[in-house]
Amino acid sequence: QPAKIAVPHRGASGYAAEHTLASYRLAIEQGADYVEQDLAVTKDGVLICLHDESLERTTNVEEVFPDRAVVDPATGQKQWLAADFTVAEIKRLDAGSWFDPRFAEERVPTWDEAVAALGTSARLNPELKTPDLYRSRGIDQAALFIESVERLGLPARGDSALIVQSFDDRPLREIANSLPRMPRTFLIEARDGPRWLTEEGLREIALFATGIGPAKRLLDGRPEVVRLAHATGLTVTPYTFTSRSPVDARFGSVTNEMRYFLFDLDVDAVFTDNPDQFPRASQ
C-alpha cells in the first residue's frame, strides 16, 4: 500500500502563526510530506501566502493602515482586502503577534519566498483562493501561478512534487490546459458534497482534476465514496484535522481521528494543523 501523506495545513498552524515561514519550517521539522500555501494576489499582482481575502485576522493592518478599510457588503464589517494593498505595504505588517508575541517578526511571505524557503525539503501544495475576486479586478490568478511555475523552475509533471488545489474548478481547468501533467486537487465544501460525490460528479471532476479534497464530514462513515473516487482515478485528501477545536469524542485524539480516515476509510492524505500527531502506521 502506498505511504499515507501528511499535508500540514497553513504550515504547522496548530503551533505557529499560519502562513509564516516559521510555520512552514516547523511543519518540516515535524515531518511534513507537503506544506500547504493558500495564495492571494496583491494590488500589484504578486502572489502571497494568505488564507483570508483580507488581512485583519492575521496581521496588524488595522493599526498600520487605519484608513484603508472597505465595508464588506455581506457583513457590514470593515475589512482590509489584500488585493487593495501592494506587496511593499503588506511587508510592513506583523503577521505573527495575533497568534503569539514570539512570532512578532514574521511577515506575510510571498509565494516566491515560500518556495525559496522550503527548497527541496518538502513538496508544495498551493491553493488558489477566491479567483473570482481577482477576476473581477482584471487579474487572472491562475495565469500568475502558471507563470510562476516556469519562472521558479517548479515541477509541473506527474511526479507529485507539487499539487495545486482550488475550491473553484475554473483555475483547475485552466491549469489542466497549460500544465496537463501537474496534479490538481478539487476541494469540496460540505454543502457541495451532494453535487459532486456521486458517480457522475466524480467522473466530471476527473475531466479537470486528479484528486478531491472534501470536507472530512462528507466522507465520515462512507468508505464507498473513497472507493468510488479511487475507482475514478482520483486521490482523496480530506480537510482539516486539528487539535485547535475539540476532537470528536469517538476518536479521543486527532491522531486517532486521522488514523480512522487514513486506514479505515483509506484516504490517501490529510490536511492537518498538527503534523507532529500524524499517524504513519495503522496501529
* Footprint of ligand G3P (CB under 6 A): 9, 38, 51, 127, 165, 187, 213, 239-240, 271
Shorter beta-carbon distance to ligand G3P: residue 18 or 89: 18
Residue nearest to ligand G3P (CB): 239
18 is a contact residue toward Ca ion (CB under 5 A): no
CB atoms within 10 A of CB 79: 20
**Residue 52 within binding range of Ca ion, rule CB under 5 A:** no
Q: Which does 239 bind (CB under 5 to 8 A by kind): ligand G3P, Ca ion, none?
A: ligand G3P
Q: How far is the CB of 35 from Ca ion (least distance, A)?
A: 11
Beta bridge partners of 35: 124
Task: Sheet with 47-49: list strands edge to edge.
Answer: 47-49, 34-41, 123-128, 164-166, 184-188, 211-214, 235-236
Contact 177/184 with Cβ under 8 angstroms? Answer: no
The rounded radius of gyration (Å) of the Cα atoms in the chain is 18
Q: Cα–Cα distance between 109 and 87 in angstroms, integer?
A: 10
Residue 191: other Cβ atoms inside 10 A: 9
Question: Pick from ligand G3P, Ca ion, none: which does 19 bind, CB < 5 to 8 A by kind?
Answer: none
Is residue 273 close enough to count as binding Ca ion by CB under 5 A?
A: no
Among residues 38 and 174, whose Cβ is nearest to ligand G3P? 38
Closest alpha carbon to 20 in 11, 29, 28? 11
Nearer residue to ligand G3P within complex by CB, 65 or 197: 197
Q: How far is the CB of 125 from Ca ion (least distance, A)?
A: 8
C-alpha dist (Å) from residue 128 to 6, 11, 144, 167, 225: 20, 16, 10, 8, 25
Q: How many residues does the chain have?
A: 283
Binding partner at 213 among ligand G3P, Ca ion, none, C-beta below 5 to 8 Å by kind: ligand G3P
38 is a site residue for Ca ion (CB under 5 A): yes
115 vs 187, beta carbon nearer ligand G3P: 187
**Residue 260 binds which one of Ca ion, ligand G3P, none, with CB within 5 to 8 A depending on kind?**
none
Shortest Cβ distance from residue 142 to ligand G3P (Å)? Answer: 16
Closest by Cα among 166, 176, 49 to 116? 49
In the bound complex, what is the minimum distance in angstroms from residue 124's beta carbon to ligand G3P?
Answer: 13
Give me the phi and psi of 42, to 5 degrees please.
Answer: -80, 170
| 173 phi and psi angles, rounded to 5 deg | -65, -40
Q: Please, what is the minimum distance in Å from the beta carbon of residue 165 to Ca ion?
A: 7
User: What is the closest distance, in whole angstroms, from the C-beta atom of residue 269 to Ca ion in the complex?
Assistant: 13
CB atoms within 10 A of CB 53: 16
Regarding 127 and contact with Ca ion (CB under 5 A), the answer is yes
**Nearest residue (CB) to Ca ion, 85 versus 239:** 239
All three cell numbers of 127, joined, read 491553493
15 binds, among ligand G3P, Ca ion, none (CB under 5 to 8 A by kind): none
